[in-house]
Every structure is written in structure tokens, then in C-alpha cells.
Amino acid sequence: MFTKEDILQIEQRGIQLNDLKNQVQNFKIGFPPLSIVKPALSGDGLLILDVADQNKYAEIYKTEVENGVKPQKMIPASGAASRMFKQLFTFLEKKGKAIVDEDYFQQPENEFENIFLKHLTEFACYADLKAAMEKEGLQIETADPFTIVDYLLNEKGLNYGKLPKALLQFHKYEDFSRTSAEEHLVEGARFCKDNKNNVFLHFTVSPEHMNLFKKLMEEKQPFYEEKFGVKYTITYSVQNPATDMLAVDLENQPFRTPDGKLLFRPGGHGALLENLNKLEGDLIFIKNIDNIVPDRLRYPSVIFKEVMGGILLEKQGKIFKWLHCLDKNEELIAERELNEIASFIERELSIILPPGLMERPKSEVITFLKNKLNRPIRVCGMVVNTGEPGGGPFWVENEDGSISLQIIEDAQIDRSLETHAKAVKAATHFNPADIVAGIRDYKGEKFNLLQYRDPKTGIITEKSAFGKTLKAQELPGLWNGSMSDWISIFIEIPIETFNPVKTINDLLRPEHCAIEANTRH
């Protein structure tokens, strides 16, 4: 299957040949369906907190940080923004093929570019775009639509079509604008600082954008440090080439480029598990680069970060107490204590233990309970499902007979299975990838997170390259398969904390307007 040249190419990427053979096998047999039991609902796997509880957990978080807990924020920011401008790229391709007049913009299928151009002055990038065009002697007010879009997307202007979302101007204030990366600096200063006002932020970036990231931070970091009275420590990492996945053809044979080389594709956001595994914080807040709001809407996001952090630290403290109990000699552990631990696991960690577990020999029970407790822990925010794409919270049966909470992506659901179809129909929430992770054990040592993923999960899709159809495979997703053996706690967070930007026009939504609508004009 692999030639000597192939093996050299594989070794240069740092990929193990056995891993590659396993990838091919996954293409052939597919990934087994998960054993979904039911959706996680309010009061049944999903915490709904009143204001008193929200305040309680926020205070726990702030107290623990004051006592020395070190928070860190991880922002996946390596993706290019090209998909944000898909419709505008299509519009640009029409140049030379058709004359665009006023009638064009009245046609329903052209509504996207109509909205973009009609509201052009409202975008945060407008001033930069205007200046870029004026350098070439062009007036944005009188330029034709093709020229405006050309200068927005391509290198002659802002080059937004090739930049990552982190470096795009997202929010327009009265007399300045902020990129999404800057908004994460602001948000980090609001809740993710230690007891010495240090803010630890980590961006995952693509190699080609690293210098641009560092340049932006060098320019902006001193300003925000002075503004908020903090000191930022900003680190970066790139996706390891060894996490790239082999592509195959429709016959499950390695897909080759026109020059005969193997084609590798990024392994999806599950590849970022290695990046997360290298972070040093006591708890890590994870939030995508495009899910950020301007100052006037910041409060709900900040308070619920503190709430989620407080829940994690409270549960973690109880877990550590019981693990120290289980470290005692077997004869010193009372049956009452084992029953209390089992009750805690089911009641507070949403893990249903296997039937008959407590009737097993004492040593087996201790080992089982200890294994269930001594794992990484995450608290995941869930929002009411309003039709946005994304994974959802479900109860899933595990191989050891226990039932626990998992985030399930749509591609992992087999709707031909009655249990899956019923669970999906009854589901009420979905995962906005808003997570806080506890990555240290009860002895203060870091977990090796790679040991807690499920290699039997993944996603296979059809793509195309060089005019041919291929099959692509993604690693177990960071939120689902890569964290499948974590302790998971799900909490409902307000829908206003979830504001992703999938297209450029999403920045016109009220949630991304830094100035109140009635004061903008």
C-alpha cells in the first residue's frame, strides 16, 4: 500500500505508520455508532441555576483564584476566515460574466451581497477599507461593488479572504474598532486573571499567520494592560502536522496528488487536544475565536465563566476529598464511605454506575470508583437549541456498563436507529463549545489528556481535490471523542453568550453591534 517514498513522506510528518494503517481501517469499516440512551434535559443531566446559585458559584471561583488557583484561557484561532466570505467570493467571480445593475440586487438569490453593500458603513472594517482604497486613488463612496469587494478580500486591499478571523475587525465603537483577538484580551482581563492580576491567554494559530498575530499583540498588549491594570502572558501553538489525516479514494486506497504524493488533511479540532495537553493552568477556559461580544454585552459571558469555574472547583474539591479517602488501606475504608462515594458520583457527577457494582468484591468496587473519580473534569455550557448547527448533550452508555454525559456531533448520530431518532427529537439544547477544563489530579499532577479520548470515534466525510472525490477523516472531536472519558457536567448558559460569526453579515447582528442600535445613526 505504501512505497518507500510514501514512508519517507510519512516519517517527515512525524506520523506513525501503524496509526496510518488504523486510519485506513477506519475508512473501511467506519466508526461504530454510540450507544445513546437519551438527551440531557433540564434536571436530568443539565443544571439550570437560579440567580442565588449563580452568585454562589461565581464567588467560589473568585475566592479560589484569590487563594492561588491559576486560570488560563485557550482560544482556538487557527482557522482561516475564507468561509466567512464564501458568498462574496462567488459574487466576485461574476465580474466579467455579467453587468451588475440595481436590478441584480433586487433578486432574492443575491440578497447576501445586497445586505453587505447596503450596510457597508456599519462594519468595523469600513474605515480600514476606505483608507486602503484611497491609497490607490479610489473613493469608496463612488466605487462599483466589484471593486469594493475586491479590496476587502484580496491582497491589494485588506486581504480578509486569507486572514484568520482573529485578525479581522469585528466590533465598531464610537471612535475605534477591535479585532476578535482584542476582544478576547478584554474578556480575559475581566475574569481570567490570577491573584496577581496576571492574565494567561493561549492562541492556537496557523504557522503562516504567526507573525501577524505576534505583531498585533505587540501593538495592542501594552494598551490593554494599562487600561485594565493587568499583565498578559500570551502564548501560541500550531497544530502538530503529525495529527493530519490521510485521505483515501472511494475504494479506500490512499489518495494521491497529481505528482504521486500522499494527500494529508487537517485532523479537525480534535487535533488541538495535544495543544491543550501542554497548557499549565489549573483550569482552562476554552472558547472559539469568533464567539465574542462587544463591551455592552460582556456581562453575561463574564459572569457565567465565573459560574462555570466555580462549579468545576467545587466538584473538584469534593472529588479530591473522596480520592484521598480511597487511598487509605482497604480495611480502613468503611462500606458507608463507599456508598457515599457512589451516591456522590451519581448525584453530583451525573454518572450512572453499572447495576450490581456495589455487590462486587470490595477491592473491585474501590478500583472502579477511583477510576471514575481520577479523571480530567469539564463543565460545559449549553444553550437552548435555536437551530444552530453543533453537537448536543446526551446520556451515553459506556463499555464498562456505566452511563455518562457526552457531547454528540450530528455526524455521530445514526437516525436510522430508533433510540438515536427519539433522543434527537427530544433534545432541547446544543453545545456552543464554551468549556472550562480541570486538567490536574488530586495530587496536583497534570493528567495526560491523550489517555482519556476515545479512538473509536471520529467523522468520515466526502470532499474533493484536484477534480476528484475523496474521503476525509477527522480525529475524535475536541468536545466529544477527545474528551469522552472526562467527568462532564452540563449547565445551561444564556443564549446571548453564544454569538458565533460564520459569515461577514453576522457582524451586523445586534449582538455584534458595539453601539446601541438607536444611537448608531
Kindly report the pTM of this predicted structure: 0.93
Bridge partner residues of 460 (DSSP): 473
Q: Of the residues 130, 162, 194, which one is the last residue of a structural domain?
A: 162
Q: Do both 75 and 151 map to the same domain?
A: no
**Residues 36, 318, 377, CA angle at the centre, nearest 5°?**
40
Sign of CA dihedral 98, 99, 104, 110: positive
How many structural domains comprise the chain? 2
pLDDT of residue 34: 86
203: cell is 492562541
Q: Do both 234 and 114 map to the same domain?
A: no
pLDDT tens digits for 161-206?
999 999 999 999 999 999 999 999 999 999 999 999 999 999 999 9
Torsion of CA 443, 448, 449, 453, to 10 degrees: -120
Per-residue burial over 241-258, b if 16 or more Cβ lie within 10 Å, else e, is: eebbbbbbeeeeebbbee
pLDDT of residue 347: 97
Q: Do both 77 and 90 map to the same domain?
A: no
Q: Of the residues 108, 135, 162, which one is the last residue of a structural domain?
A: 162
Cα–Cα distance for residue pair 374/366, rounded to 1 Å: 12
Q: Do both 154 and 197 map to the same domain?
A: no
Cα–Cα distance for residue pair 180/216, rounded to 1 Å: 11
- Residue 9: inside a domain: no
Q: Do both 135 and 266 map to the same domain?
A: no
Provide the residue range defining the domain that includes 260.
17-81+170-519
Q: Do both 435 and 322 map to the same domain?
A: yes
Q: Do both 434 and 313 map to the same domain?
A: yes
- Residue 8: inside a domain: no
466: cell is 484536484
Q: Do both 88 and 187 map to the same domain?
A: no
Q: Do both 404 and 349 map to the same domain?
A: yes
pLDDT of residue 337: 97
List, for the chain, all residue ranges whose pLDDT scores fall below the cut of 70. Answer: 96-109, 388-390, 517-521
Q: How do strand 245-246 and strand 403-408 relate by DSSP bridges?
A: unpaired
Residue labelled with grid coordinates 484536484: 466
Q: Of the residues 106, 127, 162, which one is the last residue of a structural domain?
A: 162
Q: Do both 208 and 328 map to the same domain?
A: yes
Answer for the pair 157, 88: CB distance below 8 angstroms, yes or no.
Answer: no
The CB-based long-range contact list for 179-184 (8 Å cut-off, 24+ gap) reads: 179/216, 180/289, 180/290, 180/292, 180/501, 181/75, 181/77, 181/213, 181/216, 181/217, 181/289, 182/216, 182/220, 182/224, 183/292, 183/293, 183/294, 184/73, 184/75, 184/287, 184/289, 184/292
Answer for the pair 305, 436: CB distance below 8 angstroms, yes or no.
Answer: yes
Cα–Cα distance for residue pair 234/212, rounded to 1 Å: 14
| Spacing of C-alpha 143 from chain mean position | 39
- Residue 473: inside a domain: yes
Residue 329: CB atoms within 10 Å: 6
In angstroms, what is the C-alpha Rg of the chain? 25
Bridge partner residues of 76 (DSSP): 204
Torsion of CA 80, 83, 88, 94, to 10 degrees: 100
Answer for the pair 180, 53: CB distance below 8 angstroms, yes or no.
Answer: no
**What is residue 44's DSSP assignment?**
B
- Residue 59's SS3 state is helix
pLDDT of residue 440: 97
- Residue 348: inside a domain: yes
Nearest alpha carbon to residue 191 among 50, 315, 57: 57
- Residue 2: inside a domain: no
The CATH number assigned to the domain holding 352 equals 3.90.550
pLDDT of residue 455: 86
Q: Do both 441 and 485 map to the same domain?
A: yes
Q: Do both 463 and 497 map to the same domain?
A: yes
Per-residue burial over 348-379, b if 16 or more Cβ lie within 10 Å, else e, is: ebbbbbeeebeeeeeeebbebbeebbbbbbbb
- Residue 12: inside a domain: no
The torsion angles phi and psi of 251, rounded to 5 degrees, stand at -100, 10
Residue 498: CB atoms within 10 Å: 24
Cα–Cα distance for residue pair 316/487, rounded to 1 Å: 10
- Residue 3: inside a domain: no
- Residue 44: inside a domain: yes
